[in-house]
Structure 1
Amino acid sequence: MNLTVPQLLGDRALTDPDGVALIVHGSAQLTYRQWHERSTALANGLVTRGVGRGDRVGLVFGAADWADYAVAFCGVLAAGAVAVPLSDRLALDDLRFMLENCRATGVVHAAGLAVPEIGWSATVDALDVETSYEKADIAPPEPGDLAQILYTSGTTGRPKGVSATHANLAYGCGAKRRPFAHSRHLVHAFPIGTNAGQAMLINALDAQPAVVTLPRFTPARFASLIESYRAGTVFLVPAMAIELINAKVAERHDLSSVLLLGSAAAPLPSAVAQALTTAFPNATITNYYTSTEAAPAQTIMMFDPDRPGSVGRAIAGGRVRIATAEGEPLAPGETGEVWMRSPAAPRAYYGDPDSGTFRDGWVRMGDLGYIDADGYLYLVDRESDVVKSGAFKVSTIHVEEVVYRHPAVIEAAAFGVPHPVLGTVVTVALATREPLAPEDLRIFLKDRLAPHELPAHVITVDTLPRNAGGKVDKKALRRTMEGT
């Protein structure tokens, strides 16, 4: 059954108008009726501003603005336009690049945020007062129409926009049995502008429980949220799981209501998964492996001490294989590239259909791994040097490009080093023309990089080590860090 996102919202508003869809704890909540009415009003406001079918509209919001963001997202799609979700944590330079890259006609944003001057800009409230709740004469989108462009940092340095149709986003939705039916509330803390965050938005439209989030994650706040709502389902990233464990929240909060705890965005270390089974005594601990490019294809692994390194098997009609760079399948146990295939309409890089990542319905994941004889996938290493810090991916090439703008910098190399909470953080090695204190570099970078891209460590070297091919030897730099 091919549906569109506006159809999902309209059907839910019709069958469960007073049901609570989304709660931002201490801030706002949306019923399905409110969500539908406000999105319709916003769609009308967009049409009044001249937004047409297929136009790209940037959406810049923060974690405290999930309710307004949900309204804006569905309103843009109801107008027949394409939503471009963007986090308020991005640097203005990156926001401008993304909006220009997708040729956005305008921006809907949270109140009080500074956004690049790209076409028009407006808040949700401003668009709401410009129109009425009467539905404008807008042709509804089709399942094959483009619905979303989500930017992700790739290995080439600059973020790439991953496009998804309505059929892709709504795949598997609208079934008689709604997902997570064991729960009245689903709690998460994923950022807006990430693939995991978008999955939670679709859950708010289609799943049984109300989706609950909070303006800012801290272990105590998150645990208190779970306890107060008696949440049956919880989603987080490994960094959050580590913080919860280190803060010993289970000693102060009753987390026994949780029956499913899902971890996404990065592999969940087995030691962390084991600790979670103690903190959440009734929960099945589950690791989800996918990517912005491959979704909704994914593997799922219910924590199994006998398979501590596995990220599971493909589910719900998706497929995973290990292959060469040319796509030739490899035998079980052989290490090669991880490829995934979605059962839904595939995604693509916006404006770059021949990137090499998408091939004949398959997606090259950028990871190396192998599949055992029972079909379980194991990741071996990342092909690139992209740093995964908490819920975010950081391009080291992009960091280097910005560091090079400092007049004192001769050479720069960015790479990842382990961190007990975030998994990995960015480190920058510099050769400089004159002394440059780490604090001064961070001040220079503060408005040019997002917070998660800022280097946690800065080291100065005479020259950067290079291999025989002339490329910077980042393994040698990591060994240097280990010795400091």
Structure 2
Amino acid sequence: MYPNWILQRAYLTPFRKALTFKKQSWTFQELNDESIKRARQLVTLGIQQGDRIAIMGPSKPELVIMMYACMHLQCEMVMLNRRLSQDELAYQLEDSEAVAVLVADEDVEKLPTETTYHLFSAIEKGAEGAVDIVKEWPLHQTTTIMYTSGTTGFPKGVRQTVGNHQASATASVLNIGLQAQDVWLCAVPLFHISGFSILVRSLLYGNQIFLYEQFDVESIAQNIMDGDVTHMSVVAVTLERILHTLEQRNARASSYFKLMLAGGGPVPVDYLARAHALNLAVAQTYGMTETSSQTATLASEDAMRKIGSAGKPLFFNQIMIAEPNAKGEGEICIRGPHVTPGYIGRFAQKNATKAGWLHTGDIGYVDEEGYLFVIDRRADLIISGGENIYPAEIENVLLTHPAVKEAGVCGMPDEQWGQVPIAFIVLNEQVSVEQLKAFCLQKLAKYKVPKEMIITDSLPRNGADKLLRRKLLQ
């Protein structure tokens, strides 16, 4: 048994600032008091301790308090992605068998028709019932359920336990360090593992969260320049937007800013070099929904020496490369206390691990010093004339061209070669497709150069701004 994180943090540091949103702040005691009140309001709706509850809303304090209320009730929270279609949400609600749906007022129209729900505003005005808030949680208790993006077939509902989240947060902080006065800027969705893990670290280590409802590059760049925050979580596309804004302003990161934690897929080497020039420490990390966030992270002192690496496994974690080829490349497998115990719904009988190892479906290798390099998703691999082509390698090259803002590469069926690469590109400035192809020919084998390049206004991304390559051809 481990302490109820919310009660324990409010007991240890009640008056320390916990959350800032726009110009309003809450202490840990205030968040605890508000979330206990909300828990009492939830029980009057018939919600009982241990129930499975679906929850959806934008990243605002109201959502944080509602989630903490559910945690006080030891509910299993199905974290609904507010960017999904009604059909996708309907699948998750049916598959999870959630007994209630809690939704922010502004998101109610996103729900499938005929969904029974409770509005945040109605809950906040409701009567309070009696509830026994337990002081301890078992490690095996499921706290959150997050659906994978469904690379193949149906999305899987991944269970994440108290033990999973606690192990992940502890291993993360053992690696990067975190102090009481640190402030973590959160502009990633709270329904996603990267956002929720920021909440868990705050409760366990007592640091403040600077919450953004949406990614606002101008304001965020100012926070980094002014030293308002010390840490931030990003994906490649949001990192590039921050870099571009700082470069446009001819500005650098404040000396108070400590670390940018970059996940959601490999970060282009060019971005890391640009960040280094701006005094912006970036730690590339590797993790997934099934591992409650980070598994490996590159220490900031290794950022330039091991550029492109996701680092070494964190303290409690292990990584193995299954069935490596002659170059040592194979499927990345993970073992540790942060790995999910399993799934729910239609995948409830599926084992999450084989002989204790989670098989990720990602391709990578570990170098002679033990550093992990993630090459690509196995599902995204392009096999052209018997040659393996990794989309991320082509994207990395395209992103070094000054006219290219974003790039996504996938395989397209081809009668002669089986598959050929095709690129979708968002531009910063005008450039011809012929110029881009000539640029790629200087840096890539001819068979890797995209057979087609399509200029577009945007690329398909999920709720965490991660590129969805499988939707490019659509």
Query: TM-score w.r.t. structure 2 length?
Result: 0.76
Indicate whether 1:482 and 2:427 are aligned: no
1:152 to partner: Cα distance: 1.6
Say if 2:341 and 2:352, in contact at 8 Å, map to a contact too. no
The corresponding residue for 2:19 is 22
Letter of the aligned partner of 1:212 in structure 2?
A: F
Cα distance, 1:229–1:153 mapped onto 2, change above 3 Å: same
**Is the 8 Å Cα contact of residues 283 and 303 (structure 2) preserved in structure 1?**
no
- 1:207 Cα deviation after fit: 2.8
8 A Cα contact 1:332 1:370, kept in partner = no
Aligned pair partner of 2:243 in 233, 245, 248: 245
Change (3 A) 1:350 1:128: same
The residue number in structure 2 matching 1:54 is 50
Residues 188 and 215 of structure 2 are in contact (CA less than 8 Å); yes or no, is this contact kept in structure 1?
A: no
How far off its partner does 1:369 sit? Answer: 1.2
- The 2-side partners of 1:345 and 1:266 are apart by 18
**Aligned residue for 2:96?**
102
Equivalences for 1:378-417 in 2 at 5 Å?
378-385=373-380
Deviation at 1:224, TM superposition (A): 1.6
Relative distance call for 1:13 and 1:337 in structure 2 (3 A) is same
Residue 306 (structure 2) aligns with: 307
How much does 1:143 deviate?
2.6
In structure 2, distance between residues paired with 1:14 and 1:483:
56
Partner of 2:429: none
Distance 1:17 1:38 in 2: 13
2:9 to 12, 26, 32: 12
How many Å apart are 1:208 and its aligned residue? 3.9
- C-alpha distance in 2 between matches for 1:76 and 1:467: 56
For structure 2, list consecutive stretches of 5 or more residues without a partner in the other structure: 383-390, 424-449, 456-474
SS in 2 for 1:69: helix
Q: Establish whether residue 124 from structure 1 lines up as the match of residue 120 from structure 2.
A: yes
Structure (1/2) with the larger helix percentage: 2
Q: What is the SS of the residue equivalent to 2:105?
A: coil
- On the 8 A contact 1:187/1:226 being kept in 2, the answer is no
Partner of 2:270: 271
Structure 2 residue 57 is the aligned partner of structure 1 residue 112: no
Specify whether residues 334 and 184 from structure 1 end up closer, same or farther in structure 2 by C-alpha distance, changes over 3 A only: closer
SS of match in other structure, 2:315: coil
Q: How far apart, in 2, do the equivalents of 1:348 and 1:192 lie?
A: 22
Q: Which residue of 1 is the match for residue 316 of structure 2?
A: 317
Is contact 1:297–1:341 with CA below 8 Å preserved after alignment?
no
1:274 maps to amino acid: A
Change (3 A) 1:427 1:285: closer
Inter-partner Cα distance in structure 2 for 1:159 and 1:422: 30
Aligned to 1:348: 342
2:221 to 207, 223, 241: 223
1:213 aligns with 2:211: yes
Once the 2 structures are TM-superposed, how far is the Cα of residue 258 of structure 1 from its aligned partner? 0.8
**Structure 1's 343 and 80: CA in aligned 2 closer, same or farther, altered over 3 A?**
closer
User: Are residues 385 and 466 of structure 1, via their aligned partners in 2, closer, same or farther at CA, if it must alter by over 3 Å?
Assistant: farther
Shift of 1:322: 0.4
Output the CA distance in 2 between the equivalents of 1:174 and 1:301: 16
Q: CA deviation at 1:384?
A: 0.5
Tell whether the 8 Å contact from 1:333 to 1:371 is kept in structure 2 after alignment.
Answer: no
CA separation of 1:219 and 1:119: change in aligned 2, threshold 3 A: closer
* Match in the other structure for 2:443: none
Taking the aligned partners of 2:28 and 2:233, their CA distance within structure 1 comes to 22
Pair 1:141–1:116, CA change in 2 (3 A): farther
Q: Which aligned pairs between 1:328-477 and structure 2 lie closer than 5 A?
A: 334-344=328-338, 346-351=340-345, 352-355=347-350, 357-385=352-380, 418=395, 420=399, 424-425=407-408, 465=414, 473-475=418-420
Q: Does the C-alpha gap of structure 1 residues 184 and 50 become closer, same or farther in structure 2, counting only changes over 3 Å?
A: same
Distance 2:217 2:139 in 1: 39
User: 1:125-165 CA deviation, whole Å, 9 max, x = no partner?
Assistant: 42233234x85135665332211101121322432211111
- 1:465 touches 1:476 (CA, 8 Å); kept in 2? no
1:422 shift after superposition: 7.5
Q: 1:477 to 1:244 in 2, by over 3 A?
A: closer
How many residue pairs get aligned? The number is 405
Greater shift in the superposed pair: 195-204 or 108-117: 108-117
Q: What's the secondary structure of 1:262's corresponding residue?
A: strand
The residue type equivalent to 2:284 in the other structure is N
1:219·1:249 contact (CA, 8 Å) conserved in 2? no
2:290 aligned to 288, 293, 311, which one?
A: 293
- Deviation, 1:34, is 1.8
2:289 corresponds to which letter in structure 1?
T
Q: Measured at CA, do residues 372 and 252 of structure 1 come closer, stay the same or move farther in structure 2, by a change above 3 Å?
A: closer
Equivalent residue of 1:293, what SS?
helix
Q: CA RMSD in A?
A: 3.3
The answer to whether the Cα contact below 8 Å between 2:187 and 2:211 also exists between their aligned partners in 1 is yes
Unaligned runs of 5+ residues in structure 1 are: 325-329, 388-414, 430-463
Task: Tell me which amino acid in the other structure corresponds to 2:234.
Answer: L
Tell me whether 1:136 sits opposite 2:81 in the alignment.
no
Alpha-carbon distance between aligned partners in 1 of 2:222 and 2:48, rounded to the nearest angstrom:
44
What is the percent sequence identity of the aligned residues? 21
Query: Secondary structure in 2 aligned to 1:35?
Result: helix
Amino acid at match of 2:34: R
Checking the alignment, whether the CA contact within 8 Å between 1:301 and 1:310 is kept in structure 2 is yes
Q: After TM superposition, give the deviation of residue 427 of structure 1 in Å.
A: 8.1
Alpha-carbon shift at residue 184 of structure 1 (Å) = 3.2
1:72-221 equivalences under 5 Å are 72-113=66-107, 114=109, 115-116=111-112, 120-132=116-128, 136-137=131-132, 141-171=137-167, 179-181=177-179, 183-221=181-219
Hey, what's the Cα distance between the residues in 2 that align with 1:332 and 1:342? 27
Deviations along 1:421-456, whole A, 9 cap, x unmatched? 885548898xxxxxxxxxxxxxxxxxxxxxxxxxxx
Distance 2:190 2:233 in 1: 14
Q: Would the alpha carbon gap of residues 381 and 296 (structure 1) be closer, same or farther in structure 2, given more than 3 Å must change?
A: closer
- Alpha-carbon separation, structure 2, partners of 1:33 and 1:271: 44
The whole-number CA distance in structure 2 between the counterparts of 1:230 and 1:31 is: 17
Q: Which residue of 2 aligns with 1:69?
A: 63
